[in-house]
Amino acid sequence: AQRVTQPEKLLSVFKGAPVELKCNYSYSGSPELFWYVQYSRQRLQLLLRHISRESIKGFTADLNKGETSFHLKKPFAQEEDSAMYYCALSGPGLESNFGNEKLTFGTGTRLTIIP
Amino acid sequence: EPEVTQTPSHQVTQMGQEVILRCVPISNHLYFYWYRQILGQKVEFLVSFYNNEISEKSEIFDDQFSVERPDGSNFTLKIRSTKLEDSAMYFCASNTGGVAGELFFGEGSRLTVL
């Protein structure tokens, strides 16, 4: 069965310092991985997807299949980065259900940026 | 920008009572979901719904749970006879199915079972 592990429940980082939020997964097939973010009093929203290889709000995440990791990184933390971050894995869904998103989430990491 | 809306934001109920949680997905979305998060635990998939029927459900989604799209805009989750362990935040989500992994979530409905 697939699993997503985020080992840090809480992470505090000074403004301007680098940030790394850890995510490890177990999955038998080819994983699709995502980071979701929930800012204070806002809804859960997609931050980035590994297949897009994009940088969003200065964050990047690289899928490392050898280490089964998908860590989220940002070189210089900003105060507005304070939020709850969830790593998520897609699948396995039924092959007939293209577009159906059954996500498996980690427990989340609360990131606090210290001014 | 269109958003998924959920009502009520918080509901308190007695054990054994029926509860209906309501959601209005984004209008051009085709797939609808319910997830839940017990306090301090993971966000967990409950059920997905497409073309007026359940696409997939988790082992959590037993006979006490049902979903319905009664009028083409609302998407409801019914818990027939609530248990203490049903206390959680319930999130509705929707998507077009066109972008892998992108779900649009509502703000959640907190259910407290006494």
Which chain A residues have a beta carbon less than 8 Å from that of B2?
Answer: none
> Rounded CA gap, A76 and A55, in Å?
13
> Rounded CA gap, A61 and A5, in Å?
15
CA of B100 to nearest chain A CA: how many angstroms apart?
Answer: 7
Is residue B14 pLDDT above 90, yes or no? Answer: yes
CA distances from A48 to A34, A70, B17, B82 (A): 6, 11, 40, 36
Task: Give the mean model confidence (pLDDT) for residues A85-89.
Answer: 96
**Number of Cβ pairs < 8 A linking chain A and chain B:** 73
Query: Given this model, what pLDDT does residue A92 score?
Result: 57
Looking at the complex, does the CB of residue A85 fall below 8 Å from at least one CB of chain B?
no
Q: Are B56 and B39 in contact (CB under 8 A)?
A: no
Query: Given this model, what pLDDT does residue A100 score?
Result: 67
CA of B63 to nearest chain A CA: how many angstroms apart?
Answer: 20
Which residues contact residue A40 at a Cβ distance below 8 angstroms, ignoring those fewer than 6 apart? A82, A83
Position A95 confidence tier, pLDDT thresholds 50, 70, 90? very low
> Rounded CA gap, B77 and B100, in Å?
24
Domain locations in chain B?
Answer: 5-113
Closest to B105 (Cα-Cα) out of B50, B20, B41, B26: B26
> Rounded CA gap, B108 and B37, in Å?
10
Q: Which domains does chain A have, with CATH numbers?
A: 3-114 (2.60.40.10)
Nearest CB to B45; choose among A51, A97, A102: A102
What b-and-e string marks burial along B16-27, b requiring 16 or more CB atoms within 10 Å of the CB? eeebebbbbbbe
Provide Rg for chain A, Cα atoms.
Answer: 14
Residues A46-66: tens digit of each pLDDT: 999 887 778 889 999 989 989
> Rounded CA gap, A57 and A34, in Å?
15
Out of A47-56, A101-110, B27-36, B101-110, which region has the weakest mean confidence (pLDDT)?
A47-56
Nearest CB to B101; choose among A49, A98, A108: A49
CB–CB of B50 and A104 under 8 A?
no
Position B102 confidence tier, pLDDT thresholds 50, 70, 90? confident
Task: Give the mean model confidence (pLDDT) for residues B34-58.
Answer: 93
Residue B111, judged by CB atoms within 10 A of its CB (0-12, 13-18, 19+), counts as buried
One-character DSSP codes across A5-23: E---SEEEEETTS-EEE--
Which chain B residues have a beta carbon less than 8 Å from that of A101?
Answer: 31, 33, 48, 95, 97, 100-103
For B100, the closest chain A residue by CA position comes to A99
Query: Given this model, what pLDDT does residue A90 score?
Result: 86
Query: Given this model, what pLDDT does residue B4 score?
Result: 97
CB–CB of B45 and A104 under 8 A?
yes
Residues within 8 A of A (CB atoms), B 37-76 only: 41-45, 48, 50, 55-56, 58
Parallel, antiparallel, or unpaired: how do β-strands B109-113 and B10-13 relate?
parallel
Specify the fold of B5-113: Immunoglobulin-like (2.60.40)
Query: Given this model, what pLDDT does residue A82 score?
Result: 97
